[in-house]
Amino acid sequence: MTNAQLYDSHMYTEVIRQYEEVAEFINLDSNIRERLKHPQRALVVTFPFRRDEYEEVETVIGYRVQHVLSMGPTKGGIRYAPDVNLGEVTALSILMSWKSAIVGLPFGGAKGGVAIDPTSLTRGEKQRVTRRYTAELLPVIGVEKDIPAPDLGTDEQTMAWIMDTYSNFVGSPQPGIVTGKPAALGGSVTRREATGRGAIAVTAQAMEKIGKTYKGSNVVIQGFGNVGRYAALDSYERGAKVIAINDLGGGIFNPKGINIPELFKHIAKSHTVSGFDGSDELSEEILEVKCDVLIPAAIGGVITTSNVNNIKAHVIVEAANSPTTVSADKILRDNDVLVIPDILANAGGVTASYFEWVQNRQNYLWKEKDLYDRLIETMTSAFEEVWTISQKNNCDLRTGALIKGIKRVASAKLTRGLFP
């Protein structure tokens, strides 16, 4: 069976295509080039769970993929979605390897998922799925082996169930087995905000590099989960104007800028941005709204060759994972659109997860200000390195980021050598 057959998915094809282009560009050692296209470990499990109607038992498929085991423990989220598959999870694990390497974390990449619609589950059903899935992962996860985190369709409570299940099997509390858990269980107070705020920190830095300022910029945000919300709040606090936002319930538009704190109050009641009094309903495709900065913060594959030429933003910040296809990315470069790639823009989440893991291992919690300062320092330092690489090699930021990440991972692999 070929690699393409085993990991058959559009996302895997796109990720490998990007990797091969950069590997060729940097003349990557042939001894490592092929190895990095494959995960070192891929676990596929099937398991049953009971619906609330006791006699109703369903069987679902779960995955956990670990791309590189040479850098330290592996790290990556767990997603619940009906279309989760091995190829997608593998692709995301590879991106996690590059992402961790770009911001200098001692992790290899991992990703997991269960092929189920989380909206179809009651709280009790979701807990049973999570606990059984955790039991299936016991041979491959651990505080020093592989540390899960939340992703699409999972949250702090999901991580709490994983921690509790794992701790019961081990026989003692193991808060470091997951990150992104509730603060009451040793979770980081900045984890929820980290991805969004980290993305805006590097955006402001990028704007300065091209002679612009983030303050006063018109910003459009696609998606209003944790990432989109805190990207919007940070933008508002920095004086940028968030003029359009959408979520699954609809979209809103205000050319004078949306009042983000008031929008938070509205969402707490209505659970959607739609219907917010301080704005109009969005009448056009959100990705095509004229703006200075566009932030895709929802799902992957939303910027494609079919809509890329309708995008009117000067800067695109990939707060979501893989929102831009490879073909569309090339068109954006030709159109002189500055793209801050996902492997850099949304690395605030894994950075905050690293801080949480370190605190759990030390059994010592840092102050919130220290966490935020370290997050911003890590993100801005990584951006500065990527910018320098891209300028030196006359390439875009995505290529610059991949050069940094791939070289670091390859160096670790080559230095450790082969066993036996």
* Cα 374 to Cα 11, 292, 369, 383, distances in angstroms: 32, 28, 9, 14
Return d(Cα 270, Cα 276) in angstroms, integer: 9
Q: What is the DSSP string of 346-363?
A: TTHHHHHHHHHHHHHHHT
DSSP, collapsed to helix, strand or coil, labels residue 164 as helix
Size of the chain, expressed as the number of residues it contains: 420
Q: Of these residues, 75, 111, 241, 404, which one is catalytic?
A: 111
Is 111 a residue of the active site? Answer: yes
In three-state secondary structure terms, 107 is: coil
**Residues 304 and 325: beta-carbon distance below 8 Å:** yes
Any alpha helices (H) in 103-184, and if so which ranges?
123-137, 156-170
3-state SS assignment for residue 219 = strand
What's the order of all strands across the beta sheet hosting 315-317? Answer: 280-281, 250-253, 241-247, 218-222, 293-296, 315-317, 338-340
Handedness of CA 336, 302, 282, 236 (dihedral sign): negative
Tell me, what amino acid is at 56? Answer: E
Strand-pair category, 250-253 with 241-247: antiparallel
Using CB atoms within 10 Å of the CB of residue 145, give its burial: 0 to 12 exposed, 13 to 18 middle, 19+ buried.
middle
d(CA 174, CA 162): 10
Active site residues: 111
